[in-house]
Chains A and B, each alone.
Chain A
Amino acid sequence: MAKEMRFHSVFDIIGPVMVGPSSSHTAGAARIGKVVRNIFGEQPERVDIYLYESFAKTYRGHGTDIALVGGLLGMAPDDARLPDSLRLAHEAGIKVTFVPKSDKVDHPNSARIMLSRGAHKLSVLGVSIGGGNIQISEINGFKISLSMGTPTFITVHQDVPGMIAKVTQVFSDAGINIGTMTVTRESKGEKAIMILEVDDRRPDLVATLKAVPHVDNVTYFE
């Protein structure tokens, strides 16, 4: 058989543990929300979510809205508080709006999430590709391809000279290969984001990266 092997782990088949009802529309949506929150690095004051195609048509019945907001509050797909996320977001003072869009996009299950807190703004396009797996395909207008399942570090830092060298030095010192790297920023001298996909599981490096001057926040996920 010549088919490409898409599934490698027994836990792709038995798992994930998740809040129902749909691995693509609920678990995938929660994962998108959580990654976006990690990239933003702090609790947003306002969130506007554009939903496309299948997400736009069935988001209420599938709990896609609830899952996205749960993720934005930092919940994983298996968090039992997920069904209460809209109330919890309201209580936390986060203003959330959902806008179903009729525009055609590359994948049927897509959501554009725009967050803000004061002058701090972020726009991310997330895609749920099935079975709870997701991709991040755009950040602040930049096309990227970020897939779950790979050890990934996201830094939020001040846009000052030398940051890329200092952060990559941490990985070099640890003997870890960087597979892909994306750097973007709000505007010159403001907050900047670095996304690094690496070849080894080393969540312990978060502390080292946080200690680098001008780094505001670091998150790690697989």
Chain B
Amino acid sequence: MFNTIAALVAQSAAYPSVAAFMVAVEAEQSGRTPDQIRAIMGHNLDVMAESIAQGVQGVKSVTGLTGGDAKRLDAYLTAGDSYLGTTALTAVRNAVAVNEVNAKMGLICATPTAGSAGVVAGCLMAVREQLGLTRAQQVDFLFTAGAFGLVIANNAGIAGAEGGCQAEVGSASAMAAAALVCAKGGTADMAAQAVAITLANLMGLICDPVAGLVEIPCIKRNAMGAAQALTSADMALAGVRTVIPPDEVIQAMDRVGQAMPTIFKETAEGGLATTPTGLKLREQVFGQA
């Protein structure tokens, strides 16, 4: 097992890829065979793809507060005249789609949490055709994301209640960035650079859900996480390096999370949640507090 990005990069060098190393570690830890482990991940992949397809069709959340934005983005994307371009805008559309399905109590794969589930899935499904990824390579994408995610989870955390949105969408975006680097043939060290760049850019992001629901601003923050992941991956692939080492960035993120006031940690007591409109929506959904 590995508990730092440095150890992950060093230990995975003895394997064909970070993904192959992750499968080997999982096999040793769980007692399951590599084939069983890859089959479970394949199921996760299928759920991700289905959630995107469903969200793009247009859905409405259980509360009625959100929904339909993935469909709007899909129409805009099809019109072919965007700033982001096809790949990035597709990732944004996908990320929104997954989290709109999540908010309507649809089936999703938590990556690393339900509220941040759109980022990794959204990026993967946006690049798989462009890169011509086989099913096995798509499954590898998820193992790579999971390997870097484990280090972040164990050294900082992945729960908004513990570390704010930087722990959820921040972690998801860093995981996606690392996997995007490896999917394009980048090295494990480049992937580590992408993780550091992402977490540094999203550091301090608070968790301030309106009415305590996983809708506003969570859905749009997933779009931001996907866009940042693609930016970080391109930067790392271009040879841009982080000045603060990845493990030190993760430690800083942990300290920021601990120092963050609890009103910004999934309590709906600060930020957007306590704006006049945020409070009005809370009353609309739950009645008088």
Contact = CB atoms under 8 A, between A and B. Distances in A.
A80 B161 CA distance: 27
A156 B118 CA distance: 42
A60 interface: yes
Interface stretch (A21-29, A31-39, A137-145, A187-195): A21-29
B153 to A, nearest CB: 4
Contacts of B110: 15-18, 23, 27, 131-132
B105 A82 contact: yes
A7 B153 contact: yes
Contact of A13 (B108, B150, B247, B285): B150
Interface string A46-81: 000000001001101111001000000000001010
B143 interface: yes
A20 B59 CA distance: 13
B212 interface: yes
Interface string B135-155: 000000011011101100111
Contact of B212 (A3, A5, A58): A58
A18 B108 contact: yes
Contacts of B112: 12-14, 131
Contacts of A11: 26, 40-41, 44, 146
A21 B44 contact: no
A201 interface: yes
A47 to B, nearest CB: 20
Interface residues of B, number: 60
Contact of B44 (A15, A24, A57): A15
Contacts of B41: 10-11, 14
Interface residues of A, number: 40
Given A18-B114, A19-B107, A7 B150 contact: yes
Interface string B186-219: 0000000000000000000000000111110000
A149 to B, nearest CB: 11
Contact of B154 (A3, A63, A201): A3
A21 B105 contact: yes
Interface in B103-135: 103-115, 117, 120
A5 B115 contact: no
A5 B102 contact: no
User: Nearest 7 pairs between A and B by C-beta?
Assistant: A20-B102, A10-B146, A13-B149, A21-B214, A7-B153, A58-B212, A14-B146
Interface of B: 1, 3-4, 22, 25-26, 29-31, 37, 40-41, 43-44, 47, 61-63, 101-115, 117, 120, 142-143, 145-147, 149-150, 153-155, 158-159, 161-162, 175, 211-215, 247, 251, 254, 285-286
Given A6-B153, A7-B153, A10-B147, 10 more contacts: A10-B22, A12-B153, A13-B111, A13-B146, A13-B158, A14-B145, A18-B107, A19-B105, A19-B107, A61-B212
27 contacts: A5-B154, A9-B30, A10-B22, A10-B25, A10-B146, A10-B147, A10-B150, A12-B112, A13-B175, A14-B44, A14-B142, A14-B146, A14-B149, A17-B43, A19-B108, A20-B104, A20-B107, A20-B214, A21-B105, A21-B214, A23-B114, A23-B115, A58-B213, A61-B62, A61-B285, A130-B162, A132-B110
Interface of A: 1, 3, 5-24, 26-27, 54, 57-58, 60-63, 66, 78, 80, 82-83, 130-132, 201
